[in-house]
Every structure is written in C-alpha cells, then in structure tokens.
Amino acid sequence: MKRTEVQGVAKIHVVMNRKGGVGKSLISLNMGAVCADVRGPRPDGQPHVAVASADPQGTALWRAARLAEQPFDILDISDDVENIALLKRLPYAHVFVDTPGWAEIDPASGRSPLGEDKYGRILRALLEQADDVIVPMMTEVDCYEATWQTIEWVLKPLGVPFQVVINNWAPAEGVAYVEGTRGWCEKHGYPVAQTVIRRYRVHTNATKVVTQYNNNRVELQAREDFYRFALEHGLRGAESRLPAQAGADTEAVQA
C-alpha cells in the first residue's frame, strides 16, 4: 500500500510503536497540551488542537476525563474506521493520535503487518492521513526490536515521515543508556530527537498535563522536556513558553 496525500486543514500527528508501555498516551496528551498552549484558542473560544484515541484500552480517554481542565478536544476514534478519512477536515490545526500496540506480524506472507482486524484497518487508515509519526521508545533493549518492526515493516513501506523520541529516561541511570539508544537509532538511519523526555513522578498525575504543572523547580523541568520536543517537532512559538530556569538543572524525580 502506498501513502496517499489527503487535502485538508488539520495536521495529523500519529504516536505509534507496536510495543506497549513506551508512553504513547503520555506523549499524545502532553504534546496536544503544549500545542494548544502555543496556538491559543480560536476566535470562537474553541481549541485549535484535538487529541484522538485509536486505542481500544482508552488510556488517553481515561486520563483526559480526569483532567481538571481540558486544553484540547478529545476524540474517541477506536471504533470508527469509516470516518478516519475525515480527520484532516476537522476544524483543528493539529490532531495528536494515540494508538494501540499490535501483535500481528507476518512480513514473509506479504500481508500487512498491521493485521486485517478492525484495529489493523484503523492504523492503516490513520497512516494514510498522517503528516508525521512520533515513535517513542525507552532506553531498554527489549524496545529495539518492536521499534525496528514499527519502522521497517510499517512506516518505511508506507512512506510516512517519522521521528523517534527517547522517553521515560531516568537520569540517575546515566547517559550511557541514552547514548546507546541514540546510537542504535543512528546506526539504522532513524531520525531521533535531540530532546530526551525524562522520567518524573509528576507525569503519573492523571489530573494534569504539563501545561498545568506548578512552577516549582522539578515540575518546570518536567514541563521543559515537552516544550523542547515540540520545538524540534516544528510547533513554532514553543520557545517563548520555556521556563528560563528549567534548563540549568537536570535532576529528575524517579518513578
């Protein structure tokens, strides 16, 4: 299947890795929040940004429902193959899409490695709409194979632009883990973000996204990672929202 260009307004950013537990929901919600903060509301007061959940487990929906205030619209598209083609025509500047992991892998057969079930069809439909894909991975060897499969068996054949981001790194473990993971990406020719999203206890707070964190040192640092990644990912204006003092200290609170 070849990638097709779809005319529309909204930019679709799909967050994908076939491995579960790498932080797809966390990144979808917080990138949506940062983008909404940078763009501000539309003249009618409605948000410029939506976060869409294609994950049947609904983690992003669960977390969004517990936010004291939602800075973006939240969409459940986990059972809606037919209407995914309309995503780009929705009245948003950006849509960040949280996706499930998947297990159906059969590259030798010539069949889609996404499988022929409903969620395989949803993922393929999303990738036809996607402007880019964010591929989160952790500094753990068991993430490498799943990340390789995601990129080599799905994203490259479809011609979808992508960027790997290292997520959930505990600085106390040392930079060698980041360097090893970054080196693995570079060896395979995968574009990898310079920003590393560090592990913070505050990220597990389901009642807040990063734009709602307090202005203490640790929470400013936790917020900084997502604004820096947003800058790398092309969301102009994020630099004006970076906390000036956050970059000077890299201490993280371990989960």
pLDDT for 187-197, tens place per residue? 999 999 999 99
The confidence score (pLDDT) of residue 243 equals 57
What is the per-residue pLDDT for 253? 35
Can you give the pLDDT at residue 254? 36
Q: What pTM, to 2 d.p., does this model score? A: 0.87
The residue type at 15: V
What is the structure's pLDDT at 213? Answer: 96
CB 66 within 8 A of CB 104: no
Alpha carbon 110 to chain centroid distance?
28
Residue 138: the pLDDT is 97
Helices (H), ranges, 188-232: 217-232
Regions of the chain where pLDDT drops below 50: 1-2, 6, 109-110, 237-238, 245-255
